[in-house]
A and B are shown apart, each in its own frame.
Chain A
Amino acid sequence: MSNSSTSDLLKPFKLKTKQQELLIRVSILCLVYILAFITRLFSVLRYESMIHEFDPYFNYRTTLYLTQHGFYDFWNWFDYESWYPLGRIVGGTLYPGLMVTAALIYRLLHFLRFAVHIREVCVLTAPFFASNTTLVAYFFGKEIWDSGAGLVAAILIAVCPGYISRSVAGSYDNEGVAIFALLFTFFLFVKAVNKGSLAWGLASAFGYFYMVSAWGGYVFIINLIPLYVLVLLITGRYSMRLYVAYNCMYILGMLLAMQIRFVGFQHVQSGEHMAAMGVFFLMQVFYFLDWVKHMLSDTKLFQEFLRITVTCAVAAGGIALGVGMASGYISPWTGRFYSLLDPTYAKDHIPIIASVSEHQPTAWSSFMFDFHILLFLFPAGLYFCFKRLSDATIFIVMYGLTSVYFAGVMVRLILVATPAVCLISAIAVSATVKNLTVLLRSKNKVAQIGSTKGTSSAKASSKASLDQSQPFQKNGAMALLFGAFYLLSRYATHCTWVTSEAYSSPSIVLAARGAHGNRVIFDDYREAYFWLRQNTPPDAKVMSWWDYGYQITAMGNRTVIVDNNTWNNTHIATVGRAMSSYEDEAYEIIRSLDVDYVLVVFGGVTGYSSDDINKIGGGVFPVIKEPDYLVNGEYRVDKGAAPKMLNCLMYKLSYYRFGEMMTEYGKPPG
């Protein structure tokens, strides 16, 4: 009696299987969305909500300007407060996507009457877009394989350290938004190729436009997609859907991309974008041939025609390219991207590019650190994709392989490889788990079939053998499932640990352990900048090394001589020369630049190391000779140091009144 009443009560809540499935999926996606956001909040909880590092301060300052002065002034902004006396044309030398996005979110929140400060919006933009990336990953996985793979992909990408490294709260940099735009563009394009609809092609063009406005890495998209189209053409998968999708995306995307002043006419002039144009023309040739084939009924004639046309077309393309490159209209590949194709090029020819720490080649421990077990699942996923070849799986395989190869060349590009690795591993995990659970749940059904189809002897015997091995199979499947679950939980632990220890330091506030184990926080940078802001006249000019330029303009609100944009090497070398010369020479240089204050970062008490100032200064001004500062080939700062070192400006500024400072308790001062 009570049973029926409770079941009557629960009747409106009883869901059909499809509805149950939908509920599970939506709840998982909501939880993953929240997870992706909160795992990036370590530094906000430990320190406070502030912008990290150096480059994001420039982005923050431009966003501030945008919200205060509007889009027209921002787009035409000439910044006279940095690179004094040269100034900087900001509107034409940045990618506006990030700033415009943050400003739009700010406007929206204000419209809904949430009076937040723009800094909070900037700090939390990256985690917000990381959560959106997980949603896009779900839809992408669903497009390539099925919804199970989509869910696993969303989960994996929510915590993957490779992505977290550049999208923690406070890391207000282009990559935070760019990875979302990258995955979104790829998803829309693959959807357009699968459906063959013009609407999806249009959407992918707009997605590409967003990507171009957000990051210089859009070159990867504009080369991967033509390569993918070429592979499809070669393997005989040409179809009308591909034609519609690629044409729409390329033409519209190119036109839209030219609206960004920083990109300008590169889509028709630069060698890096020529692959897309070449494939575009090749597509037209394919379409033409298809139409001729349709019209002609004689195959032999068609073969002849085919051969002649292809030869002519390729020859014409080759000649056009040659003429373009020879006349200088099409510029060759820039050093930055050329070093990806020929990795030994940078080391021999452009030492500046080779010396940046982010551009170093990757050791396997860096891969392990950023991907953990995804590396093991990657080849399995590759195999699954090859078993079920379709236009979409070919795309994800190509994206995965090219991005993993480039990640091996440069550490920084692990970020670009992360979505591909997560997706392919998700396919492996999802397919395996699906097989195992099917095995686990199939026990009853097989027994039934075995009893009803007893007439056919062959079938009965096979079913009987299946029944016999059933117990082992079930146990094996259970063991494997537990193994998979354990692996994934280890992955989650690893990711959380990595995020907490390695990727959550704001680097503008430093922390250390004191003598008694208590935590000591060094907020010296911000205190210094605020001192500048409050105690110096508003038109004062500050000279410092270029690392701190963005921070001084953003927080100290004063004009600087050089900053992180490093577009003028001679200007930087002038500053370097001033820092390394004797005080009287330095005074001449400083007066000629109109400088009022000099900022020096000194790490003598905490053990903080920095850059090679006299190398860079000596590169332009031969007056500065590095061996003058050395004693027996090394740098010393005590009494035995070289006289040039003891008397140069930097040394004097750093060690001013150092003798009065106590270093350690009980030891003599200075």
Chain B
Amino acid sequence: LRREFEIVASSFITNHNSSNTKLFFGDIEFRESQSSFQLFGVNSLPHVRLVGPTAKSLKYDSDVMDQGDFSRLAESMAEFVESRTKLTVGPIHHPPVLSKMQLGLITALLLLCLPLVAKRIFAGETLLHDPKIWLSGAVFVYFFSVSGAMHNIIRKMPMFLVDRNDPNKLVFFYQGSGMQLGAEGFAVGFLYTVVGLLLAVVTHVLVYVKDATAKRLAMLFTLLVSFWAVKKVILLDNWKTGYGIHGFWPSSWN
């Protein structure tokens, strides 16, 4: 959040060419200035506040920005400033992801190693040719997508939440369809992958094992684990979404 604040401040300065000195941006560090915190009456972090020109008391006459407005970061802070002070911040200048220097360096490196890589590809010796690498890559992509990890990344969901009623308990699973927590996604993705891979292992790897009892035990283990995992996922899904999935029988049978 602090970086976003800096972006807003620097954009304001560049847009107004340092001529407009009506608005100042500042930040306070807790360890250095605890008394200032008390002056403002700050209870929780992050905290953004605007003190107007007519404010007499720092604690009561200043406008606090809502926690909920932080979602759009720099843009929402600029809007907050504009709506309370009638001063425009102007367009926000985001720093580019990779600086020009880094970009130039990366392109130079790529061009240098290009002929070497091409030759090895033609010879057929690179790491890329081993099917197992591709297989593990494929399973990873599957795990990543299906567990909803993308959802967690985009929405920046936490790993777990603290239970609102009982602050000592942690909530790992979110009840309600459409949203999920971090740990939840990984747990479910793991269950899926385990079942699928066990099936594959049983069909191909188990044939090479010589001992009959070992084979039987492995089969039994696979059956039990798969059954438990599938049941768990389905129970979890029913609890989460609250749907009662049932078949349709003809009404004349009731």
B and A form one assembly: yes
Q: Residues of A at under 8 Å CB distance from B?
A: 234-236, 303, 306-307, 310-311, 314-315, 343-344, 347-348, 351, 360-369, 373, 375-384, 386-387, 389, 397, 401, 404-405, 407-409, 428, 431-432, 435, 465, 468-469, 472, 476, 479-480, 483, 487, 493-494, 496-498, 500-501, 627
Which listed residue, B153, B178, B223, B227, touches A363 by the CB 8 Å rule? B178
User: Using Cβ atoms and an 8 Å threshold, which residues of chain B touch A386?
Assistant: 131, 134-135, 138
A378 to B240, CA, bound (A): 23
Are the CB atoms of A310 and B118 closer together than 8 Å?
yes
Are the CB atoms of A363 and B180 closer together than 8 Å?
yes
**Beta-carbon nearest neighbor of A343 in chain B:** B154
Are the CB atoms of A383 and B146 closer together than 8 Å?
no
**Beta-carbon nearest neighbor of B229 in chain A:** A376
Are the CB atoms of A408 and B196 closer together than 8 Å?
no
Are the CB atoms of A362 and B150 closer together than 8 Å?
yes
User: Using Cβ atoms and an 8 Å threshold, which residues of chain B touch A343?
Assistant: 150, 153-154
Are the CB atoms of A379 and B193 closer together than 8 Å?
yes
Which listed residue, A361, A384, A405, touches B155 by the CB 8 Å rule? A361
**Beta-carbon nearest neighbor of B196 in chain A:** A379
A408 to B94, CA, bound (A): 27
Contact of A408 with B144 at beta-carbon distance under 8 Å, contacts A368-B237, A493-B246, A496-B248 already known:
yes
Are the CB atoms of B131 and A389 closer together than 8 Å?
yes
A327 to B72, CA, bound (A): 34
Taking A379-B139, A401-B141 as known contacts, 18 extra A-B pairs with beta carbons closer than 8 A to each other, sorted by chain A number, are A306-B118, A307-B118, A343-B153, A363-B177, A364-B189, A365-B180, A369-B237, A373-B230, A376-B196, A378-B142, A378-B196, A405-B145, A408-B144, A408-B146, A469-B212, A476-B216, A483-B223, A498-B245
**Beta-carbon nearest neighbor of B149 in chain A:** A408
Ranked nearest first, the 4 interchain pairs of A and B with the lowest CB-CB distance are A379-B196, A383-B200, A408-B145, A361-B151
A-B contact pairs, 21 of them (CB 8 A): A235-B128, A303-B119, A307-B119, A310-B119, A361-B153, A362-B150, A366-B177, A367-B146, A367-B148, A379-B197, A382-B138, A383-B200, A405-B145, A408-B146, A408-B148, A408-B150, A409-B150, A409-B154, A432-B199, A476-B216, A480-B223
Q: Residues of B at under 8 Å CB distance from A?
A: 72-73, 83, 94, 111, 114-115, 118-119, 121-122, 124, 128-129, 131, 134-135, 138-139, 141-142, 144-151, 153-155, 177-180, 184-185, 188-189, 192-193, 195-197, 199-200, 203-204, 212, 216, 219, 223, 227, 230, 233, 237, 240-241, 243, 245-248
Are the CB atoms of B129 and A236 closer together than 8 Å?
yes
Are the CB atoms of A382 and B142 closer together than 8 Å?
yes
Contact of A363 with B200 at beta-carbon distance under 8 Å, contacts A379-B193, A496-B248, A497-B245 already known:
no
User: Using Cβ atoms and an 8 Å threshold, which residues of chain A touch B142?
Assistant: 378-379, 382, 401, 404
- Chain B nearest Cβ from A483, distance in angstroms: 8
- Chain A nearest Cβ from B91, distance in angstroms: 12
- Chain B nearest Cβ from A504, distance in angstroms: 13
User: Using Cβ atoms and an 8 Å threshold, which residues of chain B touch A465?
Assistant: 212
- Chain A nearest Cβ from B138, distance in angstroms: 5
**Beta-carbon nearest neighbor of B126 in chain A:** A234
User: Using Cβ atoms and an 8 Å threshold, which residues of chain A touch B233?
Assistant: 368
Contact of A344 with B153 at beta-carbon distance under 8 Å, contacts A364-B189, A405-B144, A435-B203 already known:
yes
User: Using Cβ atoms and an 8 Å threshold, which residues of chain A touch B114?
Assistant: 311, 314
- Chain B nearest Cβ from A433, distance in angstroms: 11
Contact of A383 with B135 at beta-carbon distance under 8 Å, contacts A314-B118, A365-B177 already known:
yes
In the complex, number of A-B residue pairs with CB atoms less than 8 Å apart: 175
A370 to B114, CA, bound (A): 43
- Chain B nearest Cβ from A495, distance in angstroms: 10
User: Using Cβ atoms and an 8 Å threshold, which residues of chain A touch B155?
Assistant: 361
Are the CB atoms of B146 and A364 closer together than 8 Å?
yes
**Beta-carbon nearest neighbor of A376 in chain B:** B195
- Chain B nearest Cβ from A389, distance in angstroms: 6
A366 to B179, CA, bound (A): 9
Contact of A234 with B247 at beta-carbon distance under 8 Å, contacts A307-B119, A405-B141 already known:
no
A236 to B125, CA, bound (A): 10
- Chain B nearest Cβ from A186, distance in angstroms: 18
**Beta-carbon nearest neighbor of A403 in chain B:** B145
Are the CB atoms of B192 and A365 closer together than 8 Å?
no
Which listed residue, A347, A348, A375, touches B146 by the CB 8 Å rule? A375
A382 to B73, CA, bound (A): 41
A667 to B138, CA, bound (A): 63
User: Using Cβ atoms and an 8 Å threshold, which residues of chain B touch A360?
Assistant: 151, 178
User: Using Cβ atoms and an 8 Å threshold, which residues of chain B touch A627?
Assistant: 83
Which listed residue, B138, B195, B246, touches A401 by the CB 8 Å rule? B138
Are the CB atoms of A432 and B115 closer together than 8 Å?
no
- Chain B nearest Cβ from A498, distance in angstroms: 8
**Beta-carbon nearest neighbor of A501 in chain B:** B243
User: Using Cβ atoms and an 8 Å threshold, which residues of chain B touch A501?
Assistant: 243
- Between B122, B145, B197, B241, the greatest number of chain A beta carbons within 10 A of the residue's beta carbon is seen for B145
Are the CB atoms of A384 and B200 closer together than 8 Å?
yes
A487 to B233, CA, bound (A): 14
- Chain A nearest Cβ from B71, distance in angstroms: 9
Are the CB atoms of B197 and A380 closer together than 8 Å?
yes
**Beta-carbon nearest neighbor of B230 in chain A:** A376
- Chain B nearest Cβ from A632, distance in angstroms: 13
Are the CB atoms of A344 and B146 closer together than 8 Å?
no
**Beta-carbon nearest neighbor of B134 in chain A:** A386
**Beta-carbon nearest neighbor of A626 in chain B:** B83
A381 to B142, CA, bound (A): 12
- Chain B nearest Cβ from A379, distance in angstroms: 3
Are the CB atoms of B246 and A380 closer together than 8 Å?
no
Are the CB atoms of A365 and B240 closer together than 8 Å?
yes
Which listed residue, A310, A367, A428, A498, touches B199 by the CB 8 Å rule? A428
User: Using Cβ atoms and an 8 Å threshold, which residues of chain B touch A480?
Assistant: 223
Which listed residue, B128, B148, B199, touches A364 by the CB 8 Å rule? B148
Are the CB atoms of A347 and B237 closer together than 8 Å?
no
- Chain B nearest Cβ from A45, distance in angstroms: 12
Are the CB atoms of A387 and B204 closer together than 8 Å?
yes
User: Using Cβ atoms and an 8 Å threshold, which residues of chain A touch B199?
Assistant: 377, 380, 428, 432
- Chain B nearest Cβ from A516, distance in angstroms: 19
Are the CB atoms of B124 and A379 closer together than 8 Å?
no
Are the CB atoms of A364 and B184 closer together than 8 Å?
yes
- Chain A nearest Cβ from B64, distance in angstroms: 12
Are the CB atoms of A363 and B131 closer together than 8 Å?
no
Contact of A377 with B247 at beta-carbon distance under 8 Å, contacts A314-B118, A361-B154, A364-B148 already known:
no
User: Using Cβ atoms and an 8 Å threshold, which residues of chain B touch A314?
Assistant: 114, 118
Are the CB atoms of A363 and B197 closer together than 8 Å?
no
Contact of A306 with B119 at beta-carbon distance under 8 Å, contacts A347-B154, A380-B200 already known:
yes
Are the CB atoms of A361 and B150 closer together than 8 Å?
yes
User: Using Cβ atoms and an 8 Å threshold, which residues of chain A touch B94?
Assistant: 348
A368 to B230, CA, bound (A): 11
**Beta-carbon nearest neighbor of B204 in chain A:** A387
**Beta-carbon nearest neighbor of B181 in chain A:** A363
- Chain A nearest Cβ from B174, distance in angstroms: 8
A367 to B195, CA, bound (A): 16
- Chain B nearest Cβ from A652, distance in angstroms: 27
- Chain A nearest Cβ from B50, distance in angstroms: 15
A234 to B115, CA, bound (A): 14
- Chain B nearest Cβ from A163, distance in angstroms: 18
- Between B121, B135, B155, B245, the greatest number of chain A beta carbons within 10 A of the residue's beta carbon is seen for B245
